[in-house]
């Protein structure tokens, strides 16, 4: 069974980390990730940019509505995610609109990635 582990934290606190703190945390995480990778269990790892870089596409209406900022409602739940290579935010929004047409309702929050490691899990699953 593949599991996703979604990371929640106070972004202002994390953004306030000094370079030393940041490096120390990343090094400690690296050790855990390395073990998983050796066992062939580590799938994609992504670190998102802060919510200030987010744009939301509300696809519960036609045409969908683009809103600056993160998805802020609480009545919907996180059901999945895509990682897509896009030339620009415009391109990402166009892609999200295509997906939204295939599956209207709810919203997509579009967040640029700061870091991405493709990983190796699931190849044999």
Q: Give CA angle at 10 (21, 35), nearest 5°.
A: 55
Contact flag: residue 25 with another protein (CB under 8 A) = no
For residue 120, the SS3 value is coil
> Rule CB under 8 A: is residue 90 a binding residue for another protein?
yes
With CB under 8 A as the contact rule, the residue among 4, 5, 12, 125 that binds another protein is: 12
* 72 CB burial (10 A radius; 0-12, 13-18, 19+): exposed
Kindly tell me which of 105 and 112 has the beta carbon lying closer to another protein.
112
Q: Which of 2, 6, 7, 13 binds another protein (CB under 8 A)?
A: 13
User: Taking CB under 8 A as the criterion, which residues in 37-56 touch another protein?
Assistant: 49-53, 55
Nearer to another protein, 69 or 104 (CB): 69
User: Considering only CA atoms, which of 103, 113, 50 is closest in space to residue 79?
Assistant: 103
Beta strands in 1-125 (DSSP E): 45-48, 55-58, 65-68, 107-110, 113-117
Q: To the nearest whole angstrom, how small is the minimum distance from the Cβ of residue 88 to another protein?
A: 6
- Displacement of CA 43 from its chain's centroid (Å): 14
Residues that bind another protein (CB under 8 A): 10, 12-13, 15-16, 49-53, 55, 66-69, 88-90, 112, 114
């Amino acid at each position: 069974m593949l599991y996703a582990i979604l990371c929640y934290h106070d972004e202002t606190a994390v953004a306030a980390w000094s370079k030393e703190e940041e490096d120390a945390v990343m090094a400690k995480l690296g050790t855990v990730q390395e073990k998983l990778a050796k066992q062939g269990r580590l799938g994609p790892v992504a670190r998102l940019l802060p919510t200030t870089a987010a744009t939301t596409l509300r696809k519960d209406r036609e045409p969908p509505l683009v809103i600056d900022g993160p998805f802020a409602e609480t009545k919907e739940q996180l059901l999945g995610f895509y990682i897509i290579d896009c030339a620009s935010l415009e391109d990402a929004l166009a892609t999200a609109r295509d997906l939204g047409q295939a599956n209207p309702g709810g919203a997509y929050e579009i967040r640029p990635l700061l870091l991405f490691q493709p990983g190796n899990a699931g190849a044999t699953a």
